[in-house]
Structure 1
C-alpha cells in the first residue's frame, strides 16, 4: 500500500513531505468546470473528491489524497485567474478586506473515503494600483486560486490570518495528518 498525492501542485508536494517523504504523485484529468456545488467550501470538497476518485479507480490498493483550493469572497469563487486582467480584478477585490480560503481534501484508503473542507480567513491590507500592477507583472498570481500565493510575493499584502496558514497554500497539513492517522495509514 503506497500513498499517492493526486495533485500536480509543487506547494502540495512540499507540504505532503512534511507528513511523510514516502509518497508518489499522480494527477487526474478531471474537468473541473463540470463540477458545481451550493457553496464554495462544498465546491472545493467536491473537486477534491473527483480528483481523488479518478486516481483511486486505477490504484485501489493505495491511499489516494485529492485536494482543491478556492478563494471565497462573499460566496463568489475565485479560482486560478484566466489572464492578467482577471488577476488584476481578483487582487483589486481582495485588497483592503477579508476573504475565506477553502481547501477540499478527499482521502481514499482501504475501501473507505474521508472528505472534508478546511477554511482559513485571510485579510489583505489596502493596496495601491501600483502595488497591484507590480504584483500581477510577476509569475506568482497565475497558478493559484485567488491570484495570489501567501508564501510568495503576496505575503506583504496579508494583514492577518485566522486558521491554518498551510491551508492558504492549498494543503492543511495538520488536518491531513490527523485524517491519515484516523484511517490507520500512519
Structure 2
C-alpha cells in the first residue's frame, strides 16, 4: 500500500477518499488563501489550481523537512491537495464566513447557473537514498495539477428557508455558500458534470494524475473490499 497524505481539513474530501478505499493522513497546509487570491490575475478556474499547488507544496515542504512518524516506513508517498471556488458572472465566490456574507452570495446566485471549479494537485514523494541511510528523507519525484468543472443550477429557497439554512452555519465554511452533501443539497436544482467536483475532489481526475505518474491506483487502497 502507498500511503496518501491529504493536504486539506475538508471532511468532504476525506470522506470521498475513504469511500474509495483510501485512508489518508491529514496534514493541513495553513496556506494564506486570501493572499494568493489578492495577487492572482488569471481565471477563477486557474486560481483553484494555484491554490491547490500552494497547499501541496506547503505540505511537501513539511514532509521533506520532518517526515511524520506514520510515514517513516514508506518508500513512496502520494500527496493530494485541492481547492474549490464557485464562479458566477466571472467572479470567484469562496467561503462567505458569516451570515451576512451568505445572504449576499445567495442574493446573486439563487436561480442562476454557476460553475464550480475544483483544482487538484497530486504529488509523488520517494525516499531519498543519498547520505545517511538511517535517516528518513523524502524528495519530490513528480507533481501534476488538473482542474475539473461542473455546472450548477442553484435553487431558490424561500426567505425563511434561507434563514434556516444560515442558522445551521454550514454555508459559512464552504465555497459558494452551499454544499450538496449537507443541508444545502436541497437548494441545488441540477448538476451538469461530475458531482464529486462539487464536493471538492474528483476521483477520476486524481486517478488520472496518479496513473500518469506511473503508479497503480489500487496500490493506494488501504482496504480492498
Question: Which TM-score band (shorter chain)?
Answer: over 0.9
Q: Which has the larger radius of gyration?
A: 2
- 2:55 pairs with 38, 44, 51, which one? 51
The count of residues paired between Structure 1 and Structure 2 equals 186
Give the match's secondary structure for 1:67.
Answer: strand
State the Cα deviation string for residues 13-56 of structure 1 (Å, max 9, x = none).
Answer: 00012333243111112111111241110111100000001111
Query: For the structure 1 residues 18 and 182, does the alpha-carbon distance in structure 2 shift closer, same or farther, using more than 3 Å as the test?
Result: farther
- In the superposition, the TM-score normalised over structure 1's length comes to 0.93
Aligned to 2:222: none
Query: For the structure 1 residues 46 and 151, does the alpha-carbon distance in structure 2 shift closer, same or farther, using more than 3 Å as the test?
Result: same
Aligned to 1:73: 88
Deviation at 1:155, TM superposition (A): 1.4
After TM superposition, the structure 1 stretch with the greater mean CA deviation from structure 2, 79-88 or 19-28, is 19-28
After TM superposition, the structure 1 stretch with the greater mean CA deviation from structure 2, 17-26 or 100-109, is 17-26
Aligned to 1:10: 11
- Consecutive unaligned residues of structure 1, counting only runs of 5 or more, are none
- In the superposition, the TM-score normalised over structure 2's length comes to 0.78
Alignment of 1:24-173 (within 5 A): 24-35=25-36, 36-60=40-64, 62-110=77-125, 111-173=141-203
Aligned to 2:131: none
For the Cα contact (< 8 Å) 2:14–2:24, is it kept in 1? no
Deviation at 1:142, TM superposition (A): 1.5
State the Cα deviation string for residues 138-178 of structure 1 (Å, max 9, x = none).
Answer: 12111101111111111111111000111111111221122
- Consecutive unaligned residues of structure 2, counting only runs of 5 or more, are 65-75, 126-140, 218-225
